[in-house]
Amino acid sequence: MNGAAYDKRALVLLPVILALLSSLGPFTIDTPFPAFEDMGRDFGVGSDRMQLVVSAYLLAFGLMSPFHGPISDAVGRRPVMVVGVVVFAVASVGCALAPTFELLLACRVLQGLSAGGGVIVSRTIIRDLYDGDEAQRLMSRVMMIFGVAPAVAPIFGGLLLQVGPWPSIFWFLAVLGLLLAVVVVTLLPETHPVERRIPFSARSLVSSMAAVGRHGRFHLVAWGSAFSFAGQFLYIGAAPIFVVDLLGLGELDFWVFFVPMIVGLTFGAWVSGRAAGRVRRGVLITVAMAFTVAGAVVNVLLAALPATSAELPWAVLGPALIAVGTGAAYPSQQLILLDMFPASRGSAVSMFTFFTLLLNAVVAGLVAPWVTDSVLEMAVTALVLVTIGLASWAAHLAIGRRPRVEAARLPETLTPTDSL
């Protein structure tokens, strides 16, 4: 299906709309960060338990993410997104009114279960509409806009705290969810026509997910991307500890960390867009992931030196370098995964998101509490994560090269093709 078939006015707005939908996830994670101290005081819990506000959301998002995409393959993209953001708005109201910490966590779980309707399906729409280099350019453009969300979110949260108590943050998220529902209904076309949909039954949905789950190279690409991003997300998920406890900054100073990191992510996405049609995707991803590891090494060195450890701007330089590589690799990684399953793209992006968010939840909820005693511990952990990501991608490439080694023994008509 070609994007030219749709109203040109909608297509001009398409990157902005899809970026806003994709941003709902990180925006919901980061906006409450400045309020953690106030929330912890009101509920009588410490910083370790407040990390559950992050991990509960991420775990719920991860557990539900395998289902949003397959359901959209069956009923269409728009219904899944509209229902998702409306339920998200209701859950945000619940967070704002929560009288106990346990009820707050329950509403954060509901936020996580519903937010993927917009976040996951919006990525699938790009591949529904566009092919090849054009799809990579649009994916990169969306990521450039999407990358602003984690930087803006804690700033918004801090500003809202200046005019009201911490529930005002969740009232803001409720309004945002309702506005996104209106935008999807009025401006976003349905990109998955009836004739391309799979049957809406438990058997067909599970079969679609199982086909993706059995694909070995899908796992290598997906986990490679997930671990690479986890090196960056370690800092995002533990931002209240990193910014306030380790760097000694205040509730309005989250921008000091987030702005450089998001500038790096946005620059990486820009590089990806410029590389479309000029550099093969496999080469671009390899170079970008190698840069991520190099940035993580620089981060460790800066954290280990007394003159630069926990000192600005050096403490935020390493995460920003990691983000450059992540931003450059991510659009192409997404398209490779989607192209593996052209008949069930929703399932492909859902399973990838499931792996990514499950890993992020583990990093934020289980790993972060053990490695946030110092800037150096965080830097070493980030290096380990991105190195695992590069190793997974290298394994994918190694498997892809095997047929070429054996090609000389095969008849010419059976020479394998390049999937990258």
How big is the CA angle at 241 (ends 238 and 243), to the nearest 5 degrees? 100
Here the tokens at position 200 are 């809406």
Is 56 inside any structural domain? Answer: yes
pLDDT tens, position by position, 93-152: 999 999 999 999 999 999 988 887 777 777 777 777 776 667 777 777 777 766 666 667
Residue 414 lies in a domain: no
pLDDT tens per residue, range 170-188: 999 999 899 988 988 887 7
Q: Which domain holds residue 306?
A: 3-401
pLDDT at 293: 96
Note whether residue 30 is domain-resident.
yes
- CATH of residue 58's domain is 1.20.1250.20
The tally of domains found in the chain comes to 1
> Is residue 118 situated within a structural domain?
yes
Give the pLDDT score at 286.
94
Contact of 266 with 259, CB cutoff 8 Å: no
State percent of the chain over pLDDT 70: 85
Helix axis angle, 101-129 to 77-97, nearest 10°? 160
Q: Is 44 exposed, middle or buried (0-12, 13-18, 19+ CB in 10 A)?
A: exposed
Please give the DSSP secondary-structure letter assigned to residue 197.
P
Domain assignment of residue 116, yes or no: yes
Whether the model pTM is above 0.85: no
Q: Give whichever of 36-40, 219-223, 294-298, 339-343 has the largest mean pLDDT.
A: 294-298
Residue with tokens 């109201």: 93
b/e map 157-193, b = 16+ CB within 10 Å? bbebbeeeebbbbbbbbbebbbebbebbeeebbebbe
Q: For the chain, how big is the Rg over CA atoms in Å? A: 21
* Tokens linked to 10: 């909608």
Provide the greatest CA pair distance for the chain: 73
Residue 406 lies in a domain: no
